[in-house]
Structure 1
Amino acid sequence: MKHSFTYIVFLYLVALSVFAQPAAPSASKPNIIFILVDDMGWGDVGAFWQQQRMKANDRSEPWQFTPSLDAIAQNGAMLTHHYCAAPVCAPSRASLMLGVSQGHANIRNNQFDKELQDTYTMSSVLKKAGYSTSLVGKWGLQGVDAEAPNWPAHPLNRGFDYSYAYIRHADGHEHYPVEGIYRGKKEVWENKTNVSAGLAKSFTTDLWTAKAKQIIKQQAGKAQPFFMYLAYDVPHAVLELPTQAYPQGGGLKGGLQWLGTSGKMINTASGTPDSYIHPDYAKATYDHDKNPATAEVPWPNVYKRYATLCRRIDDGIGDIMQLLKDLKIDQNTMVVFTSDNGPSIESYLKEDYEPVFFNSFGPFDGIKRDVWEGGVRMPTLVQWPGTIPTKQVITRPSALYDWLATFADAAQIPAPARTDGVSLLPTLTGQGTQKQGVVYIEYENNGATPKFEEFSPNHRARKRNQMQKIRLGDFVGVRYDIKSADDDFEIYNVVTDPQETKNLAGEAAYRSMQKTFKERVTQVRRPDPEAPRPYDLAPMAAMEAPKAAAGVHWAIHEGEFPWVADLTGRPASLSGNKPGADINSIALKEGMIYQEGYLKVPQDGTYQFTMTGNGSYLFRLHDALIIDRTYPDQPKLKLPLSATVNLKAGYHPFRIYYHQTGNAKPNLDWTWQAEGMREQPVPAAALFHAAD
């Protein structure tokens, strides 16, 4: 353990000075389909957990089937240690789109319908890379400062060429927009037109699948690659059923089809809404009292419904995968499947629902709104035939916000430097060396972890309130009901103890790890005034004194770049070390200037950093995003930007990215000030770089 942890910490401390190799690009840019489901747990997918239950054949432990998702697991990769960004949907989806953790996202906690930050998004990055971009399904990040359809963060204003979706968050809580069986009528918008009136008997899971298939057919014959964000709004709480059995076949000629006729928009818009139970579950029974001598009883209706909804998603995904084969584009299409957060305890029906029936949380404890593994570990699958090897089980930790950088890598365009995620392609493809990523989660909720018997006693009825989780290697640090930055982390080895039953924090061997967790969480986030935390004022911890020499390491990348880019691993036009951070003497017509090193802070205190420049720029300390002047990428004014940071004395690794366009001479002024220190340029005497 000690050797492993020391190595992990070492990676974090030196990561800024190590260049990782990018994954080898494919001959052409792949189509990308990102499928996100709502509230499906790690344990709901057959390949992850349900198959184990079936093989155990314990009649008191029912199981469900996901054959299409299991096929993706066979034909691609299972990411068994993949985390959502937050244990509830709005912040998780915001981090996905922005490519940043909850330490930097502008939507946190339960800020449903809040306007997604106007900056680079997964869709806008891929659009710049030449992709046609579409959203089908649930959005909920539109903003509320304008009337429909002029929401400030409408999908069309965040990089999508086309959207067919529930725009409001709460609309996704009803799966029949016209009938509104349990939650009232809802609105589906095609771009900025409300098309709900024509959607009689349109069960939204079927509607989204049929629309996705229609778009894929339209895009398949074009040279331009496409990106689709397919966001299903099931199996979330309302648990409404389809109208009928899934249509036979799949792909081009079978399965769900888009008819486009008002009142009969899709080929399942007939029959009786909220009526169909899958035959695998309609007459299913189980050993309810764990006594084989007594007769089994039928599954409760609510669980037949839940399993049918999961199966309906599975059928739709299988239908789409067949379509890719029929169109002969499956070999150059990357498909990703995951969930936004852990399984829910909610039911909008009269009958209560609990995820214990199928153990939807898998071998973990925790549900939606918990940062225990069951609330944040997601069932994640990736398939890209011929590029991603089959039957892979990837245990390297990763996070939802890694996908923006991953897709940028696949699209052969550098990711914006403001993103927190890293490309997963090196691990998925087995080519190149993956950069070190960060799994970091924070969230606030005034509830408690359920008292399920399946959960370890140390988790049952735990007050949530302010929560925080970070993973380093095999270990996680978890804090519940946080009162101050001094609160200790509970420490678990989630590889050997995935249920997080044995808190290691009290053991002497883990005291240094406690210190590391407390320090690390100060280095990966910035406070958000709209989501205050009890640890917001904690000073950013310094690193141990590095082996360093005076000066700054710099690199120049000449050429055209779409934004302030992360060029880690790409050969520089020129590089070297120089005494200070001044770039005003560098001759560069167009390109990127990158600087990294260590800032030696003379004493504990609150420091204000200010930057002014005629290009676009970004400044990080450790992994915290301090100053971001990257969007829009070509500012016309020398706007000074300032940020205040509470710092511990000592060495702090920094990175400065500067993007120069046109023929203007590079210019970037960087100053600091603190109590007892007037504003002044950051002196060369405070700057160091890693010694050779």
Structure 2
Amino acid sequence: MSENKATSLFMKLRTLALSLLLAAGHLASAAEKPNILLVLVDDMGWGDLNINVPATCADGTVRPPAISTPSLARMARQGVQLRRHYTAAPVCAPARASLFSGTHQGHSEVIRNNSFDAALENSHTLASVLREAGYATALIGKWGIGGGMESGGTPTTAAAWPTLRGFDYFFGYNNHLAGHRHYAKEESNADPETGMNAIWDGDKLITPDLDTCYSTDLFTARGKKWIADHVKAQPEKPFFLALTLIAPHARLAIPSAPYPAGGGLKGGVQWLGKPGRMINTATGDWDSYIYPEYRNNPAWKKYAEKRFGSGARQAIQSAQRHATMITRVDDAMGDLMQLLRDLKIDKNTFVVFTSDNGPHNEPGAVWGFKDHPAPAQNPAFFRSYGPMDGIKRDLWEGGLRVPCLVYAPGFIKQNHNSDFPSQFHDWMATFADLAGMPKPMRCDGVSLLPTLQGNDAAQKDGVVYSEYNFGGGMAQYQDYAENKRGRARGEQQAIVFRADDGRYLKAIRTNIKSADDDFEVYDVAADSHETTNIAHQFPGIQDKLKAAVLHTRRAYDYTRDPAAGRRNNSCGGFRHYDMTPVPADAPGETRPGLAMRRLSATCPWVPEFDSLPAAAQAATSTVADPAAEQLPAGSITEYKGFINLPADGNHWHFYLTLSNVPGTKAYIKLHNFQLVDADFNYTPGSTVNESSAINTDEAIADKTGKKGIPLKAGKHAITITVVQGPSAPGSFKLEWNRGPQGGHQTPVTTVPAAAYSH
């Protein structure tokens, strides 16, 4: 088939898919779809938001000073504060990978644990889902998950350039390390591939034109320009803008001038687009302006002398810069909110503000300030970790819990605080819900709209899960609980679960040496410092938790090719629970066959069936053998129940083949983890195995998909969802075999009907 004919067929199928969803009453009209503005900052702690600074310190220490964030405080009053929102990982690249892919770290196919310099897998993203829903999409700021070394990556060498992951437009840093530079032109080069700190406008390298352009101002001005231009050119088309600022991370760099008065269309930062003066704040000396309220502040001096003694001067010096960086972000948010009002779209725009992880204590010691060396940012000065313990790279609350504000007066409750535990992958489900689309089955999240609308009773519980490995120990800040000061990190794992009494509890284990290591359990709502381990209150909880994490995640199955000439910094390291056999369920008495639900509809991806609007009306029946079923053309079918494995095996393999009908695709989950992904980029008629590296940039046929899945004998919960293409009916075939076990490997056979029950 020619490329033009193939493209034409794809567009017809896409149009048909969307029209069928519309016919099913699912796709919202353009007028009903809100614009979506996602603002992600870098390393801003929960306690850096002044509305989170406690009035008194329970442990008797001096109350830390507050950073001025009036615009964010106003946003909280006019919207919702998610006070127990978790990042996916306590460090940059993995957190962003999970945010944009809609998967937690146990399912991230490439960028997991502590990996950098790898390309985000080619699958559904926030941008691709919203683009399918009719949105214009843009990313302005730091990407950092495009591939190439962290000191490289161009439009032609980065496998996951933003426009290859669903974005129509990109402006900013692709590579990770250059994204630490707040003045791209003036600061030392972090990108030998281009010879400069590469900021891209589309495919054009514009760093030489960026004299004295401070990152927060530059990205905000460009974001404002993009929004205004889009609303003028296509007022009927909703937009999704991911504005990913790099403050307050990296070198403690500060602006060159005060923030311009006003905001919106006429005031605030403005994009001028003139080489040498690209924005209106590109004046004065770079890295020179500290906000007046932070200069010579006697209250700060008194506080610092009592708290830091002889180190007070350096602590104040760093704190002035840190506070300036955050107040600058606050000014930018006020500017953006004014723009929405000026354009009269504030009532139809859904705004999310959050941070990629907890506060850092890093780079001042590495790069210093412009003209002299200085200590790293000290998160203890402002208690940037809030009433918690932990910072960046810790799975304790201070490293994982991040500030999160939502403003959407036309859609959510105002002046509302929610303690419902949520995580980054929930945004894909939420944004799909806003756009009137079902969420992809691959997405680990749940829509947060019920919580945001104040309807907690209707809120579905989500999955809050994280795994991360980093050496060394925790900081030894005096307001940490004694059981955290200097505590070893190592391999860490955490999961939130709901107790029988309705409390959401957190289970965590650190410095893991064995899959049998026990979890500690904390009621973080009452014990935010995580001092009192209450695991003993729940008999049998350890076996349940160890099974729960194995039922939630997949072992990493991605091999980086050294021949690709890129730094092998993926997360292929062994975790002690990777090869632990996943336990079977104990469902009690079951009946033969699988429970089946079906709707006459189709979708651009394999949806989670319950997120379809008519799911509640779909009748449930029993199917003895799903592989013997004929799938009607233009249908979505879900099979649910158990699959009985006849024997233990360290390398169980599964193979799925669908009919060669355009638009046909499927997704299979075992328990709550991905088993087979035949969705994104699937070629109808082909066979896909259980490898979780199928859509990665360097999947190597003879290395990936070979690990298999360690499974115990018995009944395992299974969900199979098939989207049958609209042009013809079809069927599917699921096969399995047990890989090498004691030198023996079973042949590949079709899963028999007798293996299924419900």
TM-score of the aligned structures, taking structure 1 as reference length: 0.91
Cα 1:38–1:75 change in 2 (3 A) is: same
Q: Who is 1:686 aligned against? A: 755
Structure 2 SS opposite 1:100: coil
Which of 28, 38, 48 aligns to 1:34? It is 38
| Equivalent in 331, 336, 345 of residue 315 of structure 1 | 331
Whether 1:439 aligns to 2:469 is no
Q: CA deviation at 1:438?
A: 0.5
8 Å contact kept, 2:422–2:462? yes
Q: Is the 8 A contact 1:612 1:641 kept in 2?
A: no
Q: TM-score, normalising length from structure 2?
A: 0.83
Look up the match of 1:610.
655
Q: Partners of 1:298 and 1:366 in 2: how far apart?
A: 22
Aligned to 1:559: 601
Instruction: Give the one of 627, 641, 652 matched to 2:716.
Output: 652
Q: 1:234 and 2:251 equivalent?
A: no
SS in 1 for 2:626: coil
Correspondence 1:571 to 2:574: no
Query: What displacement does 1:642 show?
Result: 4.1
Deviations 1:237-258 (A, max 9, x none): 3010100110011111111111
Q: 2:511 aligns with which of 465, 481, 485?
A: 481
Structure 1's 84 and 575: CA in aligned 2 closer, same or farther, altered over 3 A? same
**Aligned twin of 1:261:** 274
Return the alpha-carbon distance in structure 2 between the equivalents of residues 55 and 218 of structure 1: 50
**1:25-59 deviation line (CA, Å, top 9, x unaligned):** 79610000000000000111112x23636999986
Q: Which amino acid aligns with 1:136?
A: I
- Deviation of the 1:587 alpha carbon: 4.5
Give the drift of 1:667. Answer: 1.8
C-alpha distance 23-240 of structure 1, shift in aligned 2 (>3 A): farther
Distance 1:187 1:371 in 2: 32
Unaligned segments of structure 1, at least 5 residues: 1-21
> 1:593: how far off?
1.4
> Could you say which residue in structure 1 is the equivalent of 2:174?
167
The equivalent residue for 1:543 is 585
Does 1:44 find its partner at 2:55? Answer: no
> Residues 236-282 of structure 1: CA distance to partner in whole angstroms, max 9, x if unpaired?
13010100110011111111111111100111001110010011111
CA distance in 2, matches of 1:443, 1:401: 16
Aligned to 2:415: 391
Q: Does 1:302 align with 2:318?
A: yes
State how far apart, in whole Å, the 1-side matches of 2:688 and 2:587 are.
31
Which residue, out of 304, 321, 324, partners 2:340?
324
- Give how far 1:63 is off: 1.9
CA gap of 1:553–1:307, structure 2 versus 1, over 3 A, is: same
8 Å contact from structure 2 (residues 627, 734) kept in 1: no
Unaligned runs of 5+ in 2: 1-24, 499-503, 558-571, 692-707
- After TM superposition, give the deviation of residue 299 of structure 1 in Å: 6.3
Q: Which residue matches 1:148? A: 154
Q: Aligned residues: percent identity?
A: 40
Post-superposition offset of 1:650: 3.2
Measured in 2, the distance between the counterparts of 1:604 and 1:109 equals: 28
1:368 has 2:392 as partner: yes
| Superposed displacement of residue 557, structure 1 | 1.8
Alignment partner, residue 216 of structure 2: 205
Q: Deviations over 1:655-684 (max 9, x none)?
A: 111111142332211122336865433233
8 Å Cα contact 2:602-2:723 kept in structure 1: no
Aligned counterparts of 1:23 and 1:129: Cα–Cα separation in 2: 11
Q: Hey, what does 1:69 align to over in structure 2? A: 72
Report how far residue 584 of structure 1 moved: 4.5
* Matched residue, 2:541: 513
Contact 1:579 1:684 in 2 (8 A): no
1:470-524 Cα offsets, whole Å, 9 max, x none, are 111321111111111111111111111111111223x2x3242222111100011
- For residues 158 and 433 of structure 1, do their structure 2 counterparts lie closer, same or farther at Cα, with a shift above 3 Å needed? same
* Residues 587-596 or 257-266, more deviating: 587-596
**Aligned partner (choices 226, 230, 249) of residue 219 of structure 1:** 230
The separation in 1 between residues aligned to 2:189 and 2:688, in whole angstroms, is 52
The offset of 1:415, in angstroms, is 1.5
Instruction: Report the RMSD for the aligned CA atoms in angstroms.
Output: 2.6
Partner of 1:232: helix, strand, or coil?
strand
Task: Tell me the amino acid that sits aligned with residue 174 of structure 1.
Answer: R
Q: Residue 630 of structure 1 corresponds to which residue in structure 2?
A: 679
Q: Report the Cα offset of residue 457 of structure 1.
A: 1.4
Could you tell me whether the CA contact under 8 Å between 2:146 and 2:153 is conserved in 1? no
Partner of 1:408: 432
Which amino acid counterpart does residue 465 of structure 2 have in structure 1? Y
Question: Could you say which residue in structure 2 is the equivalent of 1:129?
Answer: 133
The superposition leaves residues 274-318 of structure 1 with CA deviations (integer Å, 9 ceiling, x where unpaired) of: 010011111213323439xx9x98962110000000000000011
Distance 1:587 1:669, change over 3 A: closer
Structure 1 residues 333, 568: closer, same or farther in 2, change over 3 A?
same
Deviations 1:455-480 (A, max 9, x none): 11111112212111111132111111
Q: Secondary structure of 1:126's partner?
A: helix
Q: 2:640 aligned with 1:596, yes or no?
A: yes
Write out per-residue CA displacement over residues 414-466 of structure 1, whole angstroms, 9 at most, x where no aligned residue.
12111111111122124683332100000111121111111111111122121
After superposition, the Cα gap between the structure-2 partners of 1:574 and 1:298, relative to the gap in structure 1 and judged at 3 Å, is: closer
8 Å Cα contact 2:318/2:378 also seen in 1: no
Q: Does residue 1:111 correspond to 2:134, yes or no?
A: no
Q: Secondary structure at the match of 2:306?
A: coil
May I ask how many residue pairs the two structures share in their alignment? 663
Cα 1:340–1:642, aligned 2, differ >3 Å: closer, same or farther? closer
The answer to which of 317-326 and 655-664 deviates more is 655-664
- The correspondence for 1:88, drawn from 85, 88, 91, is 91
The residue identity in structure 2 corresponding to 1:446 is G
Contact 1:53 1:63 in 2 (8 A): no
